[in-house]
Amino acid sequence: MAQKFRVVIVGGGVAGLALATRLGNSIGRSGRAEITLVDKSFAHVWKPMLHCFAAGTAANENDRISFLSQASRHHFDFWPGEISGMDRKAKTITLAPVVEPTGEVILDERKLEYDALVLSIGSRANDFGTPGVAENCLFIDNLVDANGFNDRFRAELLKAFGNNEQLDIAIVGGGATGTQLAAELHKALGLASLYTFGKKPPKLNITLLEAGPRILPAFPEAVSTAAQKELEAIGVKVQTSAMVSGADDKGFMLKDGTRIPATLRVWAAGVKAPDVTRKFGELKLSRSGQLEVRPTLQLVEDDNIFAMGDCAFIAEKPVAPTAQAARQQAHHLARYMPAWINGRPMPAFAFHNKGAVVALGDYNGWGTFPGGKVFGGGWLRGISARMVHLMLYRQHQFEIYGTFRGLMSCLVDWLDVFVRPSVRLD
C-alpha cells in the first residue's frame, strides 16, 4: 500500500488550526493525505483574547478548543510537542521532550517525517536585548503566560487589599496588546470590587509606556488621541516617547533617567519570531527572526516547506503580523495545497486588508476601514467597534467549530454569565 502524502503543520494558532481543520475536512477525510498538527499545548485560544485571560475577565475554560477533540472531528492527527530542530535533507522535524512541571519526562524527544511542512509557530514580544527585561518582566505571548500573569495579578491584588496599599503595574508597549491590557486590568478591579462585601478595593496604579510619539501607532492619529484620553479618564497614566533602558525587580528605568516603580512589570512591545527559527539551519531570516518566504508562502530555500502567520516574512511585499493576515494565509494554503500536492504550482498569496479594530474593555472602542475611515468612539462608547471585535471572535469560533457547535458555544457563554463570577477570583 502506497504511503499517504504527509502534511505536518507546526503551531495550532489562528492559522495553524484553521489550516489543519480545512485540510482535514478535504484531503484528510478523502484519504488523499495524512494531516498532522503539532503544538506544545493541548488547547487553542484566540490570541487577540489573551489580554482578557491575563486580566481574568474572560473564562478561558470556555474559550479553549481542545486539539484532540478538534482532530477527531475533522480528520487530522494531533501530537503534543515543541519543535526544536529540522533536517531538510531527511525531511524530518525534531520535537523536544514533553516534561511535567515536576521534571518528569512524559514523552522523549521524537522525530516526525513530512512530505510538506507548514510552520505556523507565531511570535513573541521583542525585548530588543534590554537589560533585565527577560529576568524581571512578565509576558503574555500565549495562554500559559496569560494564566501565569493572572495568578500573579490576583495574588498581588489580595496583598494590596489586605495591607491597604496600592498596586503598581507598568506595561511597556502602547500597541493593541498593551493598550487593551491596561483597560482590561482596570475593568477587572471594578468587577472584583463587587465581591468585596462593601470594603473599599485597593487603588490600582497603571502606567503605560510607549517609546514612540503616540500609542496605537498602527491606527490613525485621531484614534490614538481618543484612546489615550479614554485611558487617562479611567486612571491609566500614559507616557509616550518613553524609551525603556532597563528593568529590575522594582520597576523600569527610562533613557532620560526617570524610574517607574512597579510591582508587576509587563513587556508587550515589539514582535519577533520564536528563537527556534535560528536553529533550523541555513535559512534566510528577517531581522526579527521571521522565516523569509516567497509570495507563495514557500521558503526561499525549500519548495516543500511553507511558513505563515507571524513567523513568516514576505520580503517582496511584507504583511503586518496580525490575526487577519494569518487567517487569510491559512485559507490560501487550504485552497491550493490539494492541487499543489498533485503537481500544480502554488499561486502567490495576496493580502486583502479588511481594516482593524481595538476595544478598551467596556469603556470604548474604535475601528478603521481599509481606506482609513474611522468608526466607533463618541457618545455611544464605541459600541459598534466593540461589537465588531466580539463578532471577529465569534467568526473564528464558527470557522473552527462549524455552525451548530459555534452556536452552542455562544449559548454556553451566555448561560455562564448567570453562573460564574464576571471576573476570575480563584
Q: For the structural domain made of 5-123+273-341, what CATH number should be given?
A: 3.50.50.60
pLDDT attached to residue 84: 94
Q: How many CA atoms lie within 13 A of 207 on its CB side?
A: 20
pLDDT at 126 over 70: yes
Q: How far apart are CA 406 and CA 420, in angstroms?
A: 21
Lowest model confidence (mean pLDDT) among 62-66, 195-199, 215-219, 382-386 = 195-199
**Full-model pTM:** 0.89
Q: pLDDT at position 125, please?
A: 92
The helix, strand and coil proportions of the chain, stated in percent and rounded to the nearest 5, come to 35, 25, 40
Highest average pLDDT, of 48-57, 158-167, 219-228, 387-396, comes from 219-228
- Could you tell me which residues come within 8 angstroms of residue 45 by beta carbon, excluding any fewer than 6 positions away? 53, 60, 63, 64, 65, 143
Q: How many CA atoms lie within 13 A of 144 on its CB side?
A: 6
pLDDT at 311: 95
Q: At what angle do helices 143-163 and 176-192 cross, to 10 degrees?
A: 40
pLDDT over 90 (residue 423): no
> 362 φ, ψ to 5°?
-95, 5
Residue 62 predicted with pLDDT over 70 = no
Q: What is the pLDDT of residues 322-345, one digit of tens each?
A: 899 999 999 999 999 999 999 999
Contact 57, 423 (CB under 8 A): yes
How many helical (H) and strand (E) elements, i.e. helices and strands, does the chain have?
11, 24
Cβ 405 vs Cβ 413: under 8 Å: no
Tell me: pLDDT of 197 over 60: no
Mean pLDDT score, 150-162: 88
> At 32, is the pLDDT very low, low, confident or very high (cuts 50, 70, 90)?
very high
**Which residues contact residue 77 at a Cβ distance below 8 angstroms, ignoring those fewer than 6 apart?**
34, 35, 36, 37, 71
Q: What is the DSSP letter of 263?
A: S
Residues 56-74 have a mean pLDDT of 84
- pLDDT average, residue stretch 296-321: 94
Amino acid in the structure at residue 162: G
Question: Distances from the Cα of 402 to the Cαs of 22, 70, 399, in angstroms?
Answer: 11, 11, 6
SS3 299: strand
**Residue labelled with grid coordinates 487577540:** 48
Check: CB of residue 228 under 8 Å from CB of residue 238: yes
Can you tell me the distance from the alpha carbon of 119 to that of 116, in angstroms, rounded to the nearest whole number? Answer: 10
Domain segments of the chain as ranges: 5-123+273-341, 143-267, 356-419
Q: Domain spanning 143-267 has what CATH number? A: 3.50.50.60
Percent of the chain past pLDDT 90, that is, above it, reads 61
Q: At residue 192, does pLDDT exceed 60?
A: yes
Instruction: Say what the pLDDT of residue 405 is.
Output: 80
User: What length is written for the chain?
Assistant: 426
Percentage of residues of the chain with pLDDT beyond 70: 94
| Relative orientation angle of helices 323-341 and 14-23, to the nearest 10 degrees | 30
DSSP 285: B
Enumerate residues 6+ apart whose C-beta is below 8 A from 314. Answer: 292, 293, 294, 295, 297, 349
Q: What is the pLDDT of residue 168?
A: 95
Distances (CA, A) of 113 to 16, 20, 74, 98: 18, 17, 21, 19
Taking 90 as the threshold, does the pLDDT of residue 391 lie above it?
no
Do 143-267 and 5-123+273-341 have the same topology in CATH?
yes
pLDDT of residue 299: 97
Output the CA angle 30-66-324, nearest 5 degrees.
Answer: 80
- 3-state secondary structure string, 22-36? HHHHHHHCCCCEEEE
* Residue range 346-371, pLDDT digits in tens: 999 999 999 889 989 888 999 898 88
Q: What is the identity of the amino acid at 74?
A: H
